[in-house]
Amino acid sequence: MNDVVIIGGGAAGLFCAIEAGKRGRRVMVIEHNAQVGRKILISGGGRCNFTNLGTTAENFLSENPHFCKSALARYTPQDFVRLVRKHKIDYYEKKLGQLFCRESSRQIVDMLLAECERAKVEIRVSCEVKSVTRNDIFEMETTAGKLRAKNVVIATGGLSYPKIGATDFGYRIADQFAI
């Protein structure tokens, strides 16, 4: 059984998978598109504005303002830039700290896939999660059968751009578990 199933193979899901995999967890990412990271591919006009050097907790709205403080203290924009450099992705600053790939957003998706492979993350594409229930563990109905996991991460994103895979799944799960 997986330690964690991450539903959604976008930027959030893939990055979460890498970090959990690095901590020795057995991780599976489920993505209903035939490929992961489709929204990343169109981001930044195809060049992915992958971070901003001036990012601070004050740039985020949250019911718990301390969350962003601790998250950004543990992983900074400079940490992401180091990862981009490690993968020899050429980038430039457009203005006001905005960093873009010089070539293509594809490089960011390839970087995330390479890091997933390194962290031994299993990625299952063309598989849609239909439902999640919880008893002692989580059980999921998918288009490829039932799955079980000790932990589930919902990383199915928001509703923008349904034609590239966006769904209201995350909102429905939040309602179901009364979050």
Ligand X SMILES: Cc1cc2nc3c(=O)[nH]c(=O)nc-3n(C[C@H](O)[C@H](O)[C@H](O)COP(=O)(O)OP(=O)(O)OC[C@H]3O[C@@H](n4cnc5c(N)ncnc54)[C@H](O)[C@@H]3O)c2cc1C
Q: How many residues bind ligand X (CB under 6 A)?
A: 30
Amino acid at 92: Y
Residues facing 134 on adjacent strands: 138
The residue behind tokens 């966006």 is: 166
Which residues 6+ apart lie within 8 Å of 73 measured at CB?
none
**How far lies 112's CA from each of 36, 126, 151, in Å?**
10, 18, 21
- Residue 32 interacting with ligand X (CB under 6 A): yes
**For residues 101 and 89, is the Cβ–Cβ distance under 8 A?**
yes
Q: Which of 2, 4, 6, 10 binds ligand X (CB under 6 A)?
A: 10
Output the smallest distance, CB 123 to ligand X, in A.
Answer: 11
Output 24 or 126, the one with its CB closest to ligand X: 126
- Please report how the helices 11-22 and 106-118 are oriented relative to each other, as an axis angle in degrees rounded to 10: 30
Residue number, 26 or 35, with CB nearest to ligand X: 35
Two structure tokens written together for 4: 């964690």
Q: How many CB atoms lie within 10 A of CB 161?
A: 12
Is residue 7 close enough to count as binding ligand X by CB under 6 A? yes
User: Whole-number minimum distance, CB 93 to ligand X, in Å?
Assistant: 13
Query: Can you read off the two tokens belonging to residue 92?
Result: 């430039």
Q: Which residue in the block uniquely carries the two structure tokens 């928001």?
A: 158
Nearest-approach distance from CB 117 to ligand X, in angstroms: 18
Q: Cβ-closest residue to ligand X?
A: 10
For ligand X, which residue of 4, 89, 101, 165 counts as binding (CB under 6 A)?
Answer: 165
CB of 120 to ligand X, least distance (A): 21
Q: Which stretch binds ligand X (CB under 6 A): 28-36, 63-71, 81-89, 118-126?
A: 28-36
- The Cα 6–Cα 18 span in angstroms is 11
Per CB under 6 A, contacts with ligand X among 97-126 are none
- Residues of this chain, 33-72, that bind ligand X according to CB under 6 A: 33, 38-40, 42-44, 48-49
Contact residues: ligand X, CB under 6 A: 7-13, 30-33, 38-40, 42-44, 48-49, 128-129, 155-157, 160-161, 165-167, 169
